[in-house]
């Protein structure tokens, strides 16, 4: 029968997952600890490693199935030397270009041969790009959504233009103006995001207050020290370090924003664990920078950059996103001017950052252009009063407009 491949422990309180994609197919050579499948949990994607070296045998569940921790999902047969090498070196079957019919869907067989994850498969379907001709930049050479997007935006080689796949030639084009629709099952992560956000609206008394911040001094500081900072620490100096430090300073004056409601009690934290919203291929995730109030600018920027890379590679763990006492969400990187962010339960507040743009403001009686940013604090009004919310945002504004306050603890 071979060695069983079981669903590994997925983190505290996580008992099941969805089989997102098979990374191996029957007959493939497998090394010990090499990923054979990708699981989607409520929080992250997790690769399932092979417990032994050998040849991939039988896949016992299908993509999209729900599996419990400890369940057997595949077998690894014995095989080494010539057998494993033969399986590893066997040429892949010739894969035709994606069919244009039915909105450009690629077949399940083709997707399996290319080992596409569900999100990448959908990107291929929507773009019409031929995945067989792409080189993957992801883990173990797997295709990523970025690879597909890059291929779509790049012009095709002139020599390839006359060639057309048989499937495309034999399939009539859809009538002009035809209206269609596509149904795609929500990933487990997306389902969890939807549930948690709706729970936040149903449970908390949500309210948002706004302010605007003059970014002149922070921009000047970054310009003045960015080269020295990168040379010393090996990472760029961004805005998140300034805002994280400003939040830590403001939370000392308004501790309720860093607290939570538990039953009929308020739990105050004497530490600041900042959940930083990061965009990942399968949705927004919020890894946690722990004890951020005790960290230097460099440590904060390094932690956030590390999470960003792990999110892109799909290697974030459940522990990376466990806990968190306050959230900072930067919609400005996508061009957002203003928004009302939703809190991340059981937290009681979230700070939303937005894009920086020059706007006319009055300084010393003169109308001048300044790089301004709107900031928004959404909070649970059951715990945080309006006066406290406004005070908190004013403290953040003061610290950003005069960064010296961050150094002398004012």
Q: How many CB atoms lie within 10 A of CB 154?
A: 9
Q: What is the DSSP string of 172-220?
A: PPPPTT-------PPPHHHHHHHHHHHHHHHHS-EEEEEEEEE-HHHHH
Q: Strand 16-22 relative to strand 66-68: parallel, antiparallel, unpaired?
A: antiparallel
Task: Identify the CA nearest to 247 among candidates 333, 338, 349, 357.
Answer: 349
Task: Identify the CA nearest to 315 among candidates 289, 292, 287, 290.
Answer: 287
Task: Identify the CA nearest to 100 among candidates 151, 171, 153, 156.
Answer: 171
Q: Is the separation of the CB atoms in 36 and 22 below 8 Å?
A: yes
Which helix H or strand E contains 274, and what residues bound it? strand 274-276
3-state class (DSSP) for residue 324: coil
Tell me whether the omega of the peptide bond preceding residue 74 falls within 30 degrees of 0, making it cis: no
Question: Catalytic amino acids?
Answer: 381, 385
């Amino acid at each position: 029968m071979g060695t069983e491949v079981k669903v590994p422990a997925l983190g505290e309180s996580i008992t099941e997952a969805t089989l997102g994609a098979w990374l191996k197919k029957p007959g493939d050579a497998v090394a010990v600890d090499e990923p054979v499948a990708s699981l989607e949990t409520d929080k992250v994607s997790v690769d399932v490693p092979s417990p032994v070296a050998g040849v991939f045998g039988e896949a016992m569940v299908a993509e999209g199935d729900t599996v419990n921790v400890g369940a057997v999902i595949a077998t690894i047969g014995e095989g080494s030397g010539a057998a494993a090498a033969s399986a590893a070196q066997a040429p892949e079957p010739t894969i035709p270009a994606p069919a244009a019919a039915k909105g450009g869907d690629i077949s399940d067989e083709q997707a399996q041969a290319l080992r596409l994850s569900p999100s990448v498969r959908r990107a291929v379907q929507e773009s019409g790009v031929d995945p067989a001709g792409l080189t993957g930049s992801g883990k173990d050479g797997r295709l990523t959504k970025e690879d597909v997007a890059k291929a779509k935006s790049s012009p095709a080689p002139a020599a390839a233009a006359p060639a057309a796949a048989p499937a495309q030639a034999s399939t009539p084009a859809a009538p002009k103006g035809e209206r269609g629709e596509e149904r795609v099952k929500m990933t487990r992560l997306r389902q969890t995001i939807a549930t948690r956000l709706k729970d936040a609206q149903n449970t908390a008394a949500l309210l948002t207050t706004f302010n605007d911040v003059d970014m002149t001094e922070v921009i000047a500081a970054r310009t003045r020290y960015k080269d020295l900072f990168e040379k010393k620490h090996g990472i760029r100096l961004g805005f998140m370090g300034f805002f994280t430090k400003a939040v830590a300073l403001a939370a000392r004056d308004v501790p309720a924003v860093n607290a939570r409601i538990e039953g009929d009690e308020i739990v105050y934290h004497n530490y600041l664990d900042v959940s930083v919203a990061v965009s990942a291929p399968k949705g927004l995730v919020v890894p946690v920078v722990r004890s951020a109030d005790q960290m230097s600018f460099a440590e904060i920027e390094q932690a956030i950059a590390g999470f960003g890379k792990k999110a892109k590679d799909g290697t974030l763990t459940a522990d990376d996103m466990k806990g968190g006492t306050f959230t900072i969400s930067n919609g400005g990187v996508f061009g957002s001017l203003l928004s009302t962010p939703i809190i991340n339960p059981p937290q009681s507040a979230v700070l939303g950052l937005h894009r920086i743009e020059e706007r006319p403001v009055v300084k010393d009686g003169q109308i001048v252009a300044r790089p301004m940013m709107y900031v928004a604090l959404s909070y649970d009004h059951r715990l945080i009063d309006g006066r406290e919310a406004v005070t908190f945002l004013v403290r953040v504004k003061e610290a950003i407009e005069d960064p010296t306050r961050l150094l002398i603890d004012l």
